[in-house]
Structure 1
Amino acid sequence: MTSPLVEIRGLEKQFDLSGSLLEQITFKDGRFQRKQEAVHAINGVDLQVQKGEALCVVGESGCGKSTVARTVMGLLSPTAGEIHYDGKRIDNLKGRDALPYRRKMQMIFQNPYASLNPRMTIQQTLEEPVRFHQPDLSQSDVRAKVQEVMQSVGIDPDWGSRFGHEFSGGQRQRIAIARALAVDPEFIVADEPISALDVSIQAQVLNLMMEAQETRNLTYLFITHDLAVVEHFGTRVAVMYLGRVCELADTKSLFATPRHPYTQALLSAIPRLEDERPNYIRLQGEVPTPVNLPSGCVFHGRCPHANERCRTEVPKLIATDANVQVACHGVEEGRL
């Protein structure tokens, strides 16, 4: 396998809940005590995104998918770990040093109703990143580039004088995709880009993104909770639970033979119009809070196959065959 375009190593992200120093100090049992709490959103994530692929990150709400996306893009600073782009570490770059990577890496946000500036016309919205990243372009070249990218995503260039609120959700998301493509990026992070859209529009936006991937040789990190979309769009899939990657496999292998108990439960919940479908797996208990993470495997409290080792030792991603990695003691020991 060639060297990855984007590599995430040991990524961790915590959000402090303790407040100021005075808010952390309490008086209990006759003495002052300091209490610090944090949300452990990401807990040691390792991922590699190969050039030209669409790596999908899936999992239930609160598992850390969007935090991974925002940390990779530099919108959040990692608490620990490293992010590399084309062999160079980028999470520690600031100011002008980060500018070349800002152009190569673009993001499509989840909510098209909030990601467009209501005070700017569509023309201004699309021209702004081009002017910022390519200041040498003339006015006519900028307009020509914006017109070309609008046509490529199915937007009438005559719409440029209108504002974002004049468009539907699907049209707004097309504009957001056009904004991301305007600077000719290599890598796009899509954070649940179709979850806020009507089902009838979702397929159109997905097909648009797949067409852009082919014509522009794009690489995607695609965040979603819709497994039907993953099966249609993804090259490989990373399944996350409570801030950790529990299984990483190519799409075909994951849907055909899921290894991790959590992945099996996720896939069993997909509605299917089949008589001979696998039995629905109902998990017991609730998802633990990311403030106080459980010891050992974060899934052991809901896993029917957990043993004492699962409760005390954190499993590592191990390769079960050429295209599959699983973080599960049961799989490692041959119990599953």
Structure 2
Amino acid sequence: MTPEQKDGPLLQIRNLEKRFDVDSGFLESLKFRGGKLRRDTRAVHAVNDISFDVGRGEAVCVVGESGCGKSTVARMVANLLTPSGGSIHYDGQRIDTLRGKALLPIRSKIQMVFQNPYASLNPRMTIGQTLEEPTRYHNPGLGSGEIRDKIAKVMKSVGIDPTWAARYSHELSGGQRQRIAIARALTVDPEFIVADEPISALDVSIQAQVLNLMLEMQEAHDITYLFITHDLSVVEHFGTRVVVLYLGSICEVADTRTLFSAPKHPYTKALLSAVPSLNDDSPSHIRLKGEIPTPIDLPPGCPFQTRCPLANARCRVEKPEPFAQSDGALVACHAVEEGRTDAGMTLQEAV
């Protein structure tokens, strides 16, 4: 590894795209149009030409409403899905094209914690077997005693009694199951963890415990996170930087403090206005109007233009590219670029 690679971002995503075909068969793609039989294949455009970096030791949060492509990005980074376009580089090495045995070193470095701990753990395996399987697979040189010691150490680190190794997942609560899921990821000593909404299926009282555990693991094991969530209050507590997605496209990228203190994109402002606050001086909720486009038939121009109160003719034909702001944020918005957000009309007035 060169010094430049070591000092550069740990993860680099460039022009990443993912499409899912809707018409799976030949006959399904045949359509009558203009009195003629034509073949027309449709696809869900889940992720559309996004680029961002994740630095070493960061916790980068990807946010947006349901269906915006957050989980698809997570699965492509974890190499569970193959991109339709673009590239993913980890520590200077391109990983989205790796297959088979070439993926093994990356699997031990990049681990994933899934959303639902009730579905991500095998109910037929004990906790000990669940943790032993990845440990033995990625460390074939370890003996049985060493594996047991490693599993016990990892279980203690996530606050689970090692004597529970003989239990099954149905004997544990949701929070305890998610701790086991985190422990499973830690058994292979990863550098990077992709967490796909890891607390959304848990009770609110347990969410803070799991989040604090993940922060402790970050400090103890020098872990970098790509954290997928729709809960902006979690982002403010956990994230170092935020990537805002809408219909598979990037709206804004900024460090957490900048995003919450000075959001710029109209969609980011609408998202933040929906976060409950005890501050009476906080702005009222921004209610977006207009049709939500389908990812099968994306509108031309800006993907947010059908709901944006600041959209003009340019927004309807030209897709904005992210450009840098003075505070380091990246914003993909023609209105911000042209200074129309301060032209005597606030979002609330427009809506």
Q: TM-score, normalised by structure 2?
A: 0.94
1:84-139 Cα offsets, whole Å, 9 max, x none, are: 00011010011111110000000000000000011110000001101001100111
1:275-322 Cα offsets, whole Å, 9 max, x none, are: 111121110023211000010000011111111110000100100124
| Structure 1 residue corresponding to 2:285, chosen from 259, 280, 297 | 280
Runs of 5+ consecutive residues of structure 1 not aligned to the other structure: none
Length, aligned pairs only? 336
Tell me the residue number matched to 1:177. 182
> Do the aligned residues in 1 keep the contact of 2:290 with 2:307 (CA within 8 Å)?
yes
| Structure 1 residue corresponding to 2:31, chosen from 21, 26, 29 | 26
* SS of aligned partner of 1:200: helix
**Code of the aligned partner of 1:19:** S
Tell me the residue number matched to 1:94. 99
Tell me the residue number matched to 1:194. 199
Instruction: Give runs of aligned pairs for residues 288-299 of structure 1, distance below 5 A.
Output: 288-299=293-304
* 2:66 is aligned with 1:67: no
* SS of aligned partner of 1:113: helix
Tell me the residue number matched to 1:254. 259
Tell me the residue number matched to 2:90. 85
Change beyond 3 A, Cα 1:237–1:29: closer
Tell me the residue number matched to 2:221. 216
> Do the aligned residues in 1 keep the contact of 2:111 with 2:185 (CA within 8 Å)?
yes
Shift, 1:31, TM fit: 2.6
Instruction: After the TM superposition, list the runs of 4 or more consecutive aligned residues in structure 1 that deviate by more than 6 angstroms.
Output: none
For 1:47 and 1:110, how far apart are their aligned partners in 2? 23
* SS of aligned partner of 2:111: strand
**Code of the aligned partner of 1:189:** V
* 2:209 is aligned with 1:204: yes
* SS of aligned partner of 1:247: strand
Shift, 1:26, TM fit: 3.2
Shift, 1:156, TM fit: 0.5
| Structure 2 residue corresponding to 1:312, chosen from 311, 314, 317 | 317
Shift, 1:225, TM fit: 0.3
* 2:15 is aligned with 1:15: no
Runs of 5+ consecutive residues of structure 2 not aligned to the other structure: 342-351
* SS of aligned partner of 1:77: coil
Please provide the CA RMSD for this pair. 1.1
Tell me the residue number matched to 1:328. 333
Shift, 1:213, TM fit: 0.1
**Code of the aligned partner of 1:154:** G
For 1:321 and 1:4, how far apart are their aligned partners in 2? 21
Tell me the residue number matched to 1:140. 145
Tell me the residue number matched to 1:152. 157
